Amino acid sequence: MGGPGEGWVRIGDSSLPAGGILGTTLADEDLVIWRSMAGTPCVAEARCPHQWSHLAGEGAVDGEELVCLTHLWRFTVDGEGWKENVSGRRDRKGDLAVKPCVERDGGIWVQVRG
């Protein structure tokens, strides 16, 4: 069988559980691999755009979002950034660059060229 084809690199393992977070590097780029609680894998730049906290160490999964624990910015699997205040109001903030990824043959693969 094998991976998804040319232009894709395996960077993670399908055994990453829901709510799991890992850090990795690909071509000198820090990335975070995380899985939403519904099981959706996501690969994104590892640094929060607010104050550059590394999300592999300073992040937590809350439902379908990755939360930066430093100042509670939240990111969707599409990379959209939000800040939610204590009363539930959500304000748009900086986004994360998300890499196209697929899960195949026991791995999480990212597209490195298209």
- 114 falls within a domain: no
Segment 34-85, tens digit of pLDDT: 999 999 999 999 999 999 999 999 999 999 999 999 999 999 999 999 998 8
Q: Which pTM was predicted?
A: 0.91
Give the per-residue pLDDT at 2. 66
- Domain count of the chain? 1
Residue 36 domain flag: yes
Sign of CA dihedral 71, 74, 80, 83: negative
CA–CA distance, 6 with 88 (Å, rounded to integer): 44
pLDDT score for 45:
97
Q: Cα-flanking dihedrals φ and ψ of residue 38, to 5°?
A: -85, -5
| Domain membership flag for residue 112 | no
CATH of the domain at 31: 2.102.10.10
Burial degree of 108 (CB within 10 A; 0-12, 13-18, 19+): buried
